[in-house]
Amino acid sequence: MSLNVLYFAWVKEKVGTGEEQVSPSDDVQTVADVIEWLKTQSPGHADAFADASQIRVALDQLHVPFDTFIGNAKEIAFFPPVTGGDW
């Protein structure tokens, strides 16, 4: 599997990069699997994903839950719950 991984906001700051190309092994099949695999890649990754309840995911630019299969997706993004103006 080859995936373009994007990080935003404090997830990006903790991981230390906004984008990386990864190729996990074939037993990595769901979003949750990708998260567990990423946590092993660096202390920054581990820190960013320490509390997965604070992480939201988009697969090929669509919001998805953690149990979604990666399938043929090319891009996965991890970010905090979205926020906007005060109103």
Stretch that binds another protein, among 19-27, 35-43, 55-63, 66-74 (CB under 8 A): 55-63
Residue ranges of the alpha helices (H) in 1-87? 9-15, 31-39, 43-48
* Nearest to another protein of 26, 51 (CB atom): 51
Of positions 4, 5, 10, 27, contacts another protein by CB under 8 A: 10
Distance between CA 3 and CA 33 in Å, rounded?
Answer: 13
Residue 81 beta carbon to another protein: minimum distance, rounded to whole angstroms: 4
Distance in angstroms (rounded) separating the CA atoms of residues 37 and 31 = 10
